Structure 1
């Protein structure tokens, strides 16, 4: 996913977090990392997005790297070692508050059939150095079920917040949540900007309004399954925009005046057959401007990420 780092002047960048990343597939481990990070200050998205070369120790260079491998993006969020079985750690949402970076990630316990997997927990990683190093406060951990994380109690409803999407509005960070896999409907929570990594501070959108501490009362804000969504305010439409892939693997868009909706009917912007290979994870680029909406899109067949553009002009 892609988010603005909140800094000003030449240090204003977008940060781009990736899940499972591979390098040389001819070696035994295929140079697999569970997650990586890029940085870019490129605002001319019409010709793609330029990522500068990495420089060890430079927190504004293209990617965090180790001095021993200065051209090889290193893993940035490490395993917490809390789960009995963990196959990977995948970022699902990112946002900045001031110059502090927050990434929601999921600890995957096992892969199932296509579009299905299970998680141990989700949590929030925090960085004060532009994504170079990350810590994970225990207060942010949401176990997906009873006894999946020793010492961290399960709260009913947290299973619906294993994957996320962030958007800031009115002094809050709104955090959408879905369960593990690609079949869940989105729920909604929010938290004051100073407490993103404190699960106990979150309020949930319920039939009774916003309530703190009751994730099991949260209701779906869109009554349709989706996955790997992103939400952003769009100045051109003067509305919030939501992107996700639906059950037919098409990228769809909805709009709303408020984060909680009501959300419009879904409009397909990339059909599932338009780009062969299995598309997923449409993440809005925060520097989209005018009637152009830019977003990244992943493809399963070659495990790559593309920068896409759609028009929000008449009829959007």
Structure 2
């Protein structure tokens, strides 16, 4: 019997408040009724292409983008259903853990996750983590077996459930208060792992959801255990929280994040809740990532310290889940555009831009409901590997494209 899934540290409790109820419509992979629509990803369509069997990798034709392999699910070589009790999940936010060999790993943070749909609670977890040292991505990403207590093995697990990836950060699980807590970005600085989580209070239709806040969690043991720091809260609800000063309305533009390190700074790209906002940019000296007062914001006048309300868009909406990578000579940005129905790529010579026009990599006509493209940090040269989730399967695949 699997252990019951119990929340470990609800963000809304850390913030000390509740918010009004909203309509429910979210990720329901266990054959529940799903919202209709034409958008990418959760809260959008679950449609496959006509005549396409479920679980088949999409055939993307003769263009530069290819589907390589499933990363998660029962049809993946990793067989995460049997080895991790992960039958369905999404996101796979990736970053280098910063360790020296032989302990260097890619850490991958996933969102809402389920195991056995016939089990009580469907073995639901709000988030899980996997690790991989695979350097040959041409045939996928290999994830080693989980080992209890081994912080370099495939996933954090308990000794009494060695094939059950355990939750990193808990949530109340109450629609309209805190439905779930989802990772949006990850990075390593000086051996400490950082994840930015968003506390989702309710799901909507067609790529819409409502957040309480985003907040940073830290891990000093390679992602094995996590502590969420309430002082890093960027609130998105009208709450008066003693001791929390970040109540600026501009924090609404930093509910979801993408991290990249460059020149001694951590560049923090932000988007509002849902998938239809623009992208904004802040930066902070790497060692001060937890100090919101140390952040600078990109504005019409350049970098302005401490004033999130003056941040201006660097890329117009609709920007869905976002990732940014430095290839050595340029910055590459990937995101899902629910307005055009495509995963789009932009490039820039600097973190703030100017960013090129969007180049579609995958469209819904080619691949169905793909969303959340996250770049593999070991991508080199013109070869860009990235993960994407498909709503109909509610699992994650690895893709490859060529940066022009």
Question: TM-score under structure 1 normalisation?
Answer: 0.94
CA contact (8 A) 2:134 2:142 kept: yes
In structure 2, which of residues 273, 276, 293 is the aligned counterpart of residue 183 of structure 1? 276
SS for the counterpart of 2:293 is helix
In structure 2, which of residues 296, 299, 315 is the aligned counterpart of residue 222 of structure 1? 315
CA distance in 1, matches of 2:242, 2:146: 38
CA distance in 2, matches of 1:149, 1:32: 30
Query: Over residues 117-137 of structure 1, what are the superposed CA-to-partner deviations in whole Å (9 max), with x where a residue is unaligned?
Result: 000000011111100011112
In structure 1, which of residues 146, 156, 174 is the aligned counterpart of residue 249 of structure 2? 156
Match of 1:166?
A: 259
Match of 1:199?
A: 292
Alignment: residue pair count = 309
Query: Over residues 58-90 of structure 1, what are the superposed CA-to-partner deviations in whole Å (9 max), with x where a residue is unaligned?
Result: 000000011111011000123499x98100000
Deviation at 1:200, TM superposition (A): 1.6
Is structure 2 residue 347 aligned with structure 1 residue 259? no
SS for the counterpart of 2:309 is helix
SS for the counterpart of 1:302 is coil
Where structure 1 has 5 or more consecutive residues not aligned to the other structure, the ranges are none
Alignment of 1:99-138 (within 5 A): 99-138=191-230
In structure 1, which of residues 235, 240, 250 is the aligned counterpart of residue 331 of structure 2? 240
CA distance in 1, matches of 2:211, 2:351: 26
Match of 1:43?
A: 135
Deviation at 1:10, TM superposition (A): 0.8
Deviation at 1:151, TM superposition (A): 5.4
Larger relative contact order (C-alpha < 8 A, sep ≥ 6)? 2
In structure 2, which of residues 375, 390, 394 is the aligned counterpart of residue 284 of structure 1? 375
Is structure 2 residue 144 aligned with structure 1 residue 52? yes
Is structure 2 residue 358 aligned with structure 1 residue 295? no
Match of 2:41?
A: none
Q: Whose strand proportion is higher, 1 or 2?
A: 1
Deviation at 1:99, TM superposition (A): 1.1
Single out whichever of 195-204 and 17-26 deviates more from structure 2: 195-204
Match of 2:32?
A: none
Is structure 2 residue 400 aligned with structure 1 residue 309? yes
Query: Over residues 183-208 of structure 1, what are the superposed CA-to-partner deviations in whole Å (9 max), with x where a residue is unaligned?
Result: 01001000110111221211111112
In structure 1, which of residues 69, 78, 94 is the aligned counterpart of residue 186 of structure 2? 94
Is structure 2 residue 306 aligned with structure 1 residue 213? yes
CA distance in 2, matches of 1:219, 1:67: 48
CA distance in 2, matches of 1:264, 1:80: 41
SS for the counterpart of 2:123 is coil
